[in-house]
Structure 1
């Protein structure tokens, strides 16, 4: 059974009153969408993960898919004004090998993987007349039917359930139901039922609650903070090497070093800045400078190393992290760091937004640095949750 999961993440989140689309709002260290992708990446039968997002978040979503280990199986597409429009956008790009389709809300970021597995397993056992499976949980509150301000009747809560996602369907069923779609529906199960098929239930999970309001967000953050298995700090290491190029100016640690041979590279060759970027990205699990910015992207030809640092910091913040400090070891015969150490540390500290210390050493005439062919830099970054 080949499984495709469509993650609906194009909502504006008006009721959440956030400064970003709801799926991109951080819950602890990472956004709702990043958390929603975690259990999906663990599904053995997964053929494809499709995230449906606002147009201006397409590239960010693609980076999240890559960070979740879904680069080869993930795809980000632009959603529509209504939830149904977004689901249709996901259905339009389904892989040929996907014969089971799950539709999941990114606003349910804590849904455990076992809920996905239960839905997939039940879809595999659907009988004639059954068109889908959805997870449900019991309703704990007393429910009343009202007429204006008056209570009209008490609803027997033993006969009702709260529906969650992911909701699962055979591909042919969900595609046909959406082709025949008329009117508005609050979920995909309603669309399939409208097409005349029954939808069965499986056990949901209390952690699969939907984040809609500020109170929901606070609940999620409190639950996340209580998890002792999640680290509050991380460490990353980055290394960069550049050969000398007498035809270029020397930029190192954000400073111009006059009368010194420069360093070769697509950008300015600032080995110190580039090592810092890799250390920061590595600590946050966001890849490396080449994957983030591209080693041959024409936009970054000759770009200052501080541009890459600023971009890395933006990505750290978006993922819910901030730098605590960075330590850099510069290896090479020249330039002599000592006379400009304070200046270099200040420049890098301002770019990072946290203290950066820089030390220098030679390699006792050993290797390419000892022969004066270039320089190397190694950085260690400590980051913490926002």
Structure 2
């Protein structure tokens, strides 16, 4: 017993504990440009108050600060809220498009560099003012959690990419690939809507976006199918088809002409489809072969439009630069990729294969 008691003097105590009641946990933050071209940060923080007897009261508080740059904002926020502000556990980073045109790198650094950083923090672009969204009060739960649930559902169905502070930082600092980010907007009833995907050149928003269905096809071209993809196409003659993609195959081949140095990228996409709805004529028998050809033709045309949008935005979302640098290092060292990328020739082909037609058909 004497020996055991002596050992207790050498045991470490909880000297570095950090109580939640002493912190203000930021669950969502937005960044915008204000009318004076300063950076406006709007913070939603959880204030946890100890009521005694094991009872706690949680309040969702709102704070706004603005500065010429992001530096020093944490100090201003701490001055407006009692307790120590902790931005490392924020679930949502919302950035207004106007500010995103100038570059999002400085705002990601706040969340990427801290030792205790939360790597799952989602990065989202707001179609208009990000502060208009983060200040909404849905009533059921903090707005950051409402946005997060909507993003997770859209990620599962391959409508938008899952981009966190960690993955966004990695792609922005990678010279062989450009990032694409989801954007959200609010309707007249103040409901948050997933609008589609914004295309970036480096860390700057290019000004070009893709709606949801083209965004889903872009993600398939990028070989980023999540659990499944839900898509629909108009076939003409008042016909339309909705389907799910659960399995796919993508072949990407990059060639460089030795004489002209022209770069050609071929992408062949094979999609296994499950039909969820089809609006044909009453009593019409489903012709799978014809339907496969019709859907393949439409998706190939859409994929051509998507690659044109990527070139227009100077957005290397498919990572062509990364492939070029590893496969043709001598050429990569001699070119200015930011200028040369626009000259890449894309040739895409999408083949639809109806795997299941459902019980109705």
TM-score, scaled to structure 2: 0.27
Structure scoring higher RCO (CA < 8 A, sep ≥ 6) equals 1
* Larger Rg computed on CA atoms: 1
Is the strand fraction higher in 1 or 2?
Answer: 2
TM-score, scaled to structure 1: 0.26
